[in-house]
Each structure stands twice: as structure tokens, then as C-alpha cells.
């Protein structure tokens, strides 16, 4: 009897609960999960010869309450003890759901210096003979971050993670 009551309650709760929101998803016509990055997304310098262009990134299923977005590209395999930041952008306006590859970010967006020491996207360039992962992530944030372009990637990362409503990642690879 108790089992039937529990099953009935679960069924009733399922029938009256709202439909789940669309899943927050990152996609790209230029990069794919687990696939080798093309030369377009490879750094020009440090012994690498690429076009150093950011890929097009598109996201959908934006969670309710989103106020801005952050986009990061991070290499956890860099032999630094702390990984390598290839790109960190935040305060991307809430109405934006695509960053066309190689184009300037929308007005109001803030980009930090990458670990190459330049502002903006810095392509893949692992040491010769090593395969590295490149995590392209978009975060839906519940606020605009009260930071400027002088903060460290670590501080911005802390604030993004503290205010992230959802995130989605494509992990591509590269070796030379």
C-alpha cells in the first residue's frame, strides 16, 4: 500500500512539474569534440605557424536569469603547473548567442590578456611531440561581472564560476 502511494505521488509530481528547459549547449562549425584543431586556430609564434584566429562559437538553450556570458579557452595540459589561458572574455551581452570567428567582440565585452601576454584569442601551440586539450567553454552568468581588463585570469575565473548558471564545453586537441 505504501509502495503504491509513493509511486502515485511520484507520478503526480512528474505530471505537474514544468518541462525541463533546453540544455545549454555550445556548438561550432569550426571545432569539434575530441578533434584536432586546424591550422587556423594555431598560434603564430613560439615555434608555431598558424593563423591565430578564434573559431566561431554558437550557444543555445540560454538559462532563465542569464545577464551576460563569458567565454574561455584553456589548456589544462600546459607544462606550467597552472595550465594556459588562451582566451578569457566576459560581460558578453545577454542577447549575443554567437561569436563569429576572427571578429571583434560585441560592445561592452571585456577581454583579458592571455598567457602569451596579448589581449584576445591566442591559438594552440603545445611543445613539440605533445598532444594538448583545448577547452572552449561558454558560461551563462546571472550577473555582469564588476571587473575590468586588468584582473588576472584566476580572479576572473573565480568570479565566472561563482556566478555561472550553466556552462558548456567543446574540448578539441592539437599536437605538432
The answer to whether position 10 is within a domain reads no
The answer to whether position 156 is within a domain reads yes
The answer to whether position 40 is within a domain reads yes
How does pLDDT run across 50-94, given as a tens digit for each residue? 999 999 999 999 999 999 999 999 999 999 999 999 999 999 999
Location of C-alpha cell 561550432: 28
The answer to whether position 140 is within a domain reads yes
> Rounded to 5 degrees, what are φ and ψ at 138?
-115, 135
The answer to whether position 3 is within a domain reads no
The answer to whether position 9 is within a domain reads no
**Whole domain around residue 164: which residue ranges?**
22-175
How does pLDDT run across 107-137, given as a tens digit for each residue? 999 999 999 999 999 999 999 999 999 999 9
CATH number at residue 99: 3.90.280.10
Buried b (16+ CB within 10 A) or exposed e, 64-77: eebebbbbbbbbeb
Overall domain count for the chain: 1
The answer to whether position 132 is within a domain reads yes
Predicted local distance difference test score (pLDDT) of residue 1: 47
Q: What percentage of residues in the chain have a pLDDT greater than 70?
A: 88
The pTM for the full model equals 0.87
The answer to whether position 165 is within a domain reads yes
Amino acid at each position: 500500500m505504501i509502495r503504491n502511494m509513493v509511486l502515485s505521488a511520484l507520478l503526480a509530481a512528474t505530471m505537474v512539474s514544468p518541462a525541463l528547459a533546453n540544455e545549454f549547449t555550445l556548438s561550432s562549425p569550426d571545432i569539434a569534440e575530441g578533434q584536432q584543431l586546424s591550422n587556423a586556430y594555431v598560434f603564430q609564434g613560439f615555434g608555431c605557424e598558424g593563423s591565430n584566429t578564434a573559431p566561431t562559437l554558437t550557444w543555445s538553450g540560454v538559462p532563465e536569469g542569464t545577464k551576460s556570458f563569458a567565454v574561455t579557452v584553456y589548456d589544462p595540459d600546459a607544462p606550467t603547473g597552472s595550465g594556459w589561458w588562451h582566451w578569457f572574455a566576459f560581460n558578453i551581452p545577454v542577447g549575443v548567442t554567437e561569436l563569429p570567428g576572427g571578429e571583434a567582440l560585441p560592445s561592452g565585452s571585456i577581454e583579458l590578456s592571455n598567457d602569451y601576454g596579448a589581449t584576445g584569442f591566442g591559438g594552440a601551440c603545445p611543445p613539440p611531440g605533445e598532444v594538448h586539450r583545448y577547452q572552449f567553454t561558454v558560461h551563462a552568468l546571472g550577473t555582469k561581472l564588476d571587473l575590468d581588463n586588468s584582473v588576472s585570469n584566476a580572479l576572473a575565473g573565480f568570479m565566472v564560476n561563482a556566478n555561472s548558471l550553466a556552462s558548456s564545453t567543446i574540448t578539441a586537441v592539437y599536437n605538432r
